[in-house]
Amino acid sequence: MPQQRIVTLASVVVHAIVLTTLLVAQLLAVGPLPVPHQPLMFDSIDFVLIKDLPLPPPFPGGPIEPARPENFAPVDPPEGISRETGLEGISVARSSTDTGLVVERGVGSFGLEIVGVVPPAAPPPQGPIHLHAGMQAPSKIVDVAPQYPSLARAAHVEGVVILEAVIDADGSVTSVKVLRSIPLLDDAAVKAVRGWRFTPARLNGQAVPVVMTVTVNFTLQPYR
């Protein structure tokens, strides 16, 4: 048994020596070296001349349009024709009544009878209206100073009386109403405002009566 182990060990050692010898021989063997590839090089440069090709001559008769069939619809709109509104052929007639309504009657483009009533322009307001935006406000052209009442002066009463005045279409003051009262000064303020004159207030360019607020200031002046 020990003799068999010695033989096996000797065989392993011999195989190892043989394999090592072969490996070292391969590493030490020197063969022909590889030849490197030459880089791609251009031996000469040739210039390419580019020339424009001439266009063919134009057709003597002009461009040829494709043939159109007989029932071909026109592409361009005809001149002198406006858009249809559907109200072609409508006549305008004013009614004989006193309503002032305008009746439009006629036949539209689709054969339908069209009847329309146009209301008349709004009449100017009959009574005075309050002054508001969009109106031309009246301007005072005649001013009457109030007479300071002696009783109010003796009592040293001062202040501002606020009144509501109705100004007619001709600019005259037709009525005055006290809004904020100072009893000793009210009558003098009303008399003064009644003597004022204004330019007419205008609505849509027409003179109209208006109601507006005015003030009268009473201030005692020191005696000199």
Q: List pLDDT tens digits, range 70-113.
A: 666 666 766 766 776 666 655 544 444 444 444 455 555 555 55
Report how far apart, in Å, the C-alpha atoms of 173 and of each of 59, 194, 201, 207 are.
90, 6, 12, 14
Any idea how long the chain is? 224
The amino acid at residue 142 is V
- Residue 97 has a pLDDT of 45
pLDDT, mean of residues 177-191 = 95
pLDDT, mean of residues 116-140 = 75
Q: Please name which of 90, 86, 88 lies closest in space to residue 104, comparing C-alpha atoms.
A: 90
pTM listed for this prediction = 0.45
Is the pLDDT score of 132 beyond 60?
yes
Q: How far is CA 208 from the centre of its chain?
A: 36
Is the pLDDT score of 190 beyond 90?
yes
**Phi (first) and psi of residue 6, to 5 degrees:** -65, -40
150-160 pLDDT, tens digit per residue, is 999 999 999 99
- Residue 33 has a pLDDT of 63
Cβ-contact 141, 187 below 8 angstroms? no
Tokens read off for 123: 């009449």
Place 162 in a pLDDT band, splitting at 50, 70 and 90: very high
Is the pLDDT score of 137 beyond 80?
yes
User: What is the four-CA torsion angle of 170, 129, 141, 188, rounded to 10 degrees?
Assistant: 110
Cα separation of 65 and 117, whole Å?
54
Report how far apart, in Å, the C-alpha atoms of 170 and of each of 141, 193, 197, 206, 212 are.
12, 16, 9, 11, 15
